[in-house]
Structure 1
Amino acid sequence: MLFRLFVVLSMLFVIPLTSCNDKKDIVNEQDSRVVLVYIGANNNLVSDAYNSLNAMEEGMVGLDADVYVYAALAGTTPKIYKIVADQSPEIKSTVVKSYGDQDSANPEVMKQILQTMKGYVGNRPSGLVLWSHATNWLPNVGVKLMSFNEDRGNKTELRDLQTIIPSGLDFLMFDACSMASVEVLYQLRDKAKYTIASPAEVLSTSMPYDLVLQHLVDPNLERGLKSTALTYFNFYNQLTGLYQSATISVVNNAYWSELANNVHIALTKSPLTTIYRDNLQRLDFDDKSLSAGFDFLDFVNQNMLSSDGEAIRSTVSKLVVYKANTRNFLGKPILKFSGLSCYVPNDLNKWIHPYYNGLQWAKDSGFNSFVRE
C-alpha cells in the first residue's frame, strides 16, 4: 500500500537561483538557525531519500548554515550527517555518528536520536524536518497504519511524536503526506512556533531542498517559511500532467487554542445532528490512501450555521499565514482549499473512533460530540 506517492520525473532538477545563492546573510553564528532532518527511509522511499540528501548538499553551495541529517536508509546502517556543499551525484557529507541496526520508527530510538541532534545545536535556534511516509493521525492499532514513518512494518504514532519531538523549535516541517490536519497540528502545537505541512499527499520527489535550504535559515522566520512554501509550490506548479500536484501550508501555532475554543463554542451552541460529507472537498487523492481528510473550512461552511462559523473563519485567517495548491492533484480538482484538513466520520470507520476521540483536538474542539463510537 502506497502512503507516499511515487513518481519518476524525466527532467533535470531546477537550477537554484544564483542571485540568492551568491549572497550570504550576515548573522552572528550563535543566533543562526540550525536545521535538523530526520529521514525514515528504511523502506521503499530509499532512492528518494538519497535524492533529498544530494539536493541538500547542492543547496549548501554558497550557503553558510549548519544542517544535520539522521538518515535510516534501506541497505545501510543509520548515520547522522553534517551536510556539506557538493554538486556531485555522490553523498559527500560528513558522517558525525554511525549506528548499528535499529528501528527508526521506534519511539525510544527516535527520541534518543533527536536528543543527540539537539546537542549539536547548543543555544542556537533550530527547526526540525520529519521526512518519511505518513498517514495523518491514524494510529498503529487494529491494522498496520501509522502517523509517521515506516521501518520494516513498524510505525510511529502521533501521540508518540508528541512525546518525542523536542519543544522550543522555530519550525516543524513535515516532508510527508497528509500531516496538515487539525488533528496532527493541534496535537503538536506546543513544539514549534510554526509548522509547514501538506494536507494532501506529497509526491516522492519531495521538497526541493536545493532551492529551500536558504529560506529555512532566513533570520526572519516567518518570511523564510513563507518563501519555503512558495518555492515548493512553484516547483510543482511549473510541472505538467500528474506531476503538477502540490498543497502546502504555513501555520502560526499561536492561534490553535483560539481556533479550538471557537469551534467548541459553535458546536455547543448548535450541535451537529447530521453530518454532510459526500460533497465536501477531499484532500486525499491517492485511491490507496487510508488517511481520509476533508478541507476544514469546507466542512465548517457546509455543516455549521454561517454566523457560527464567522469566528472560526477569522481565526483560520490568522492561523494559516500562507497556503497554496495546484488546481488539480493527480488529475482531481481542488476547488476549495483552506490549508487544513480534518476528519469527517462515517460508520465504516467506527472502529477507530475511540482512538480519535482521545486526541486533544477532538476533546478541546468538541469534535468528539459528533464522532460517535
Structure 2
Amino acid sequence: MILNKYKKRYLITFLCVGILQIFASCKKDDKLLEINSDITTIIYMEANNNLRGEARKAIHELEGGLLNTKAKSNILVYIKDNDDIGYLLQIVANADPYRIVSDTIMSFPFYRKSDANQIREVLTYVDKRYNSETYNLVLWSHGTAWSPGADYLSPPKSKSFGEDRGQQIDIIALKDALPMHFNFIVFDACSMASIEVLYEFRDKADFIIASPTDILSDGFPYKAFISALSYPDRNSLIRIANSFFNYYDIQQGLYRSASVSVTDLSKLSKLASYLKLKSDHDRVYVTDGVQRLDFTPGFPVKLYDFSDFITKNFKQEDADAIRKLMDEAILYKNNTKEFLGNKIYKFSGITISCPLPDDPFYTYYSELSWNKDSFFLK
C-alpha cells in the first residue's frame, strides 16, 4: 500500500501562514546588489496549492546555501502562492530559517489561475533585466508527466504542471511559454522524465534533470548543490542529480525512495528517427509485465520503463539499437531499489506511455511531438 502522506506535493513540512504578507513586506531596493555573472537561474514556483509550506522551505534552503558558496551567479525565485500576486525574488544569503530576507525585485498581478502566459511574462522580464548569456530554469510544482491539464478533459482528473486549485498547464502550453533557451531545466515535480516530456522540450534546453517517478516532499536539496548553478558544464548537471539521489538514499524506510536522470536533449531526435523507421502501426504493443514507474493510486497516465518496454516489444537487434541511442542521451541515472515499497527491477531513467485508442487522452497523445516524429502510435 502506498501512503499518500509520503507523496511529493502531499506532505507539508512547514505550516506557512501569511506567506503573502511576508513577501509583500520585503522592501524593494532599487540598488539591489548587482552580481557580475553571465549565468542566471530562475526557480519558478507554482505554489498556490498545498505546496505553500514546501515553497518556503525551498527558499530558506537557497538562502542558507548561499552562505557556504563563493559562486557568483544570479539566483531568482518567482513564487505564486495566492490568488492575486506573484513575487520575483533575488536570493541573498541568510542563516535565519524562520525569515525570508531575499529582495523583492518585482510583483506580478495575475488574472487567471495557473497560466502559461504568466510564465512567459515573468521570464521575459527576467531576460530583459539581466540579459544573461546563460539561463537555467527550475520548474517547481505538481507534475504528472505528459498528462494534459484539467482544461483538456474533466475525467480523469490530472495534475499536470502548476496545479492551482483545479487549473493546470499542459506541457505543450508550458513549452510554448518559454521565451528563451536554457542550458538546463530541472523539473522539481513528479514524473517528468518521460520521453514525451523530454522530447517536447528538446528545442528549449540543452539538458533536463528530472525524475521518472514521484518525488518525495522534500524535493531537490538546493542547499547541497547551489554552487553548481554557477557552472554550465556537464559535471554540474550530474552533481545536481547525484545530490538529489544521495539525499534520499541515506533515508530510512519509505523515505528511501528516489529516481533521477539527466538527459542530453540533442540526442533524442536520432532516437525518434530510428523508431520511425521501425514503426508498424499494426503492431500491438505488449505492456503486461513491463516495469511500471507510476506508483500513485489513480495516476492519470501509465508510465513504463523505456528500456523494458522496448525489450518486450521489438526484436533483439532493433531493441539493442534503440537502447544504445537511449544510453547516448542519458548522461546520468540512478534509483533506489524500491520506491515507497514498490520494487524497481528495471530502470533506464526514462519512461514511456502507450495509451490505447479508447483512452480519453489518446487524441492528445497523438499530437505530442514525440508521437508525431517517432510514429509511435497511429
TM-score by length of 1: 0.88
On the 8 A contact 1:32/1:217 being kept in 2, the answer is no
On the 8 A contact 2:37/2:74 being kept in 1, the answer is no
Match of 2:62 among 56, 64, 67: 56
Name which of structure 1's ranges 153-162 and 297-306 shifts more when overlaid on structure 2: 153-162
On the 8 A contact 2:85/2:107 being kept in 1, the answer is yes
On the 8 A contact 1:104/1:110 being kept in 2, the answer is no
Name which of structure 1's ranges 298-307 and 278-287 shifts more when overlaid on structure 2: 278-287
Give the aligned residue type for 1:60: L
Give the aligned residue type for 1:41: A
- Residues 19-98 of structure 1 aligned to structure 2 (within 5 Å): 32-63=38-69, 64-74=72-82, 77-89=85-97, 90-98=99-107
Cα distance between partner residues in 2 of 1:31 and 1:78 = 25
Cα distance between partner residues in 2 of 1:303 and 1:155 = 33
Cα distance between partner residues in 1 of 2:13 and 2:131 = 39
Q: Residue in 1 aligned with 2:350? A: 340
Give the aligned residue type for 1:84: V
Cα distance between partner residues in 2 of 1:8 and 1:163 = 31
Cα distance between partner residues in 2 of 1:7 and 1:31 = 36
Given the superposition, is the C-alpha separation of residues 51 and 346 from structure 1 closer, same or farther in structure 2, using an over 3 Å criterion? Answer: same
Match of 1:309 among 315, 319, 326: 319
Q: Residues 249-300 of structure 1, C-alpha deviation per residue, up to 9 Å, x if partnerless?
A: 10111101101011112224xx563321121111111123223211011100
Cα distance between partner residues in 2 of 1:65 and 1:273 = 50
- Residues 39-188 of structure 1 aligned to structure 2 (within 5 Å): 39-63=45-69, 64-74=72-82, 77-89=85-97, 90-103=99-112, 105-140=114-149, 141-143=152-154, 144-188=157-201
Cα RMSD for the two superposed structures: 2.1
Q: Does 1:274 align with 2:284?
A: yes
Cα distance between partner residues in 1 of 2:375 and 2:83 = 45
Q: Residue in 1 aligned with 2:332? A: 322
Cα distance between partner residues in 2 of 1:131 and 1:104 = 16
Q: CA deviation at 1:30?
A: 6.0
Q: Residues 23-82 of structure 1, C-alpha deviation per residue, up to 9 Å, x if partnerless?
A: xxxxxx766421111000000011111101111111111333210110011488320000
Q: Helix, strand or coil: the match of 1:362?
A: helix
Q: Helix, strand or coil: the match of 2:187?
A: strand
Q: Residue in 2 aligned with 1:257? A: 269
TM-score by length of 2: 0.86
On the 8 A contact 2:59/2:100 being kept in 1, the answer is yes
Name which of structure 1's ranges 242-251 and 1-10 shifts more when overlaid on structure 2: 1-10
Gaps of 5+ in 1: 11-28
Q: Does 1:196 align with 2:202?
A: no
On the 8 A contact 1:4/1:134 being kept in 2, the answer is no
Give the aligned residue type for 2:73: A
Q: CA deviation at 1:119?
A: 2.3
Give the aligned residue type for 1:334: I
Q: Does 1:230 align with 2:242?
A: yes
Q: CA deviation at 1:105?
A: 1.6
Q: CA deviation at 1:346?
A: 4.0
On the 8 A contact 2:86/2:110 being kept in 1, the answer is yes
Cα distance between partner residues in 2 of 1:280 and 1:294 = 6
Name which of structure 1's ranges 149-158 and 338-347 shifts more when overlaid on structure 2: 338-347
Gaps of 5+ in 2: 15-34
Q: Residues 147-166 of structure 1, C-alpha deviation per residue, up to 9 Å, x if partnerless?
A: 31111221111110121113
Cα distance between partner residues in 2 of 1:76 and 1:358 = 33
Give the aligned residue type for 2:286: Y
Cα distance between partner residues in 1 of 2:113 and 2:8 = 17
Name which of structure 1's ranges 95-104 and 52-61 shifts more when overlaid on structure 2: 95-104
Give the aligned residue type for 1:79: Y
Q: Helix, strand or coil: the match of 2:361?
A: helix
Match of 1:292 among 292, 302, 305: 302
Q: Residues 158-195 of structure 1, C-alpha deviation per residue, up to 9 Å, x if partnerless?
A: 11012111332111110001111010110110111111
Q: Residue in 2 aligned with 1:15? A: none
Cα distance between partner residues in 2 of 1:46 and 1:302 = 42
Give the aligned residue type for 1:80: L
Q: CA deviation at 1:216?
A: 2.2
**Identity between Structure 1 and Structure 2 (%):** 33
On the 8 A contact 1:57/1:87 being kept in 2, the answer is yes
On the 8 A contact 1:178/1:291 being kept in 2, the answer is no
On the 8 A contact 1:272/1:303 being kept in 2, the answer is no
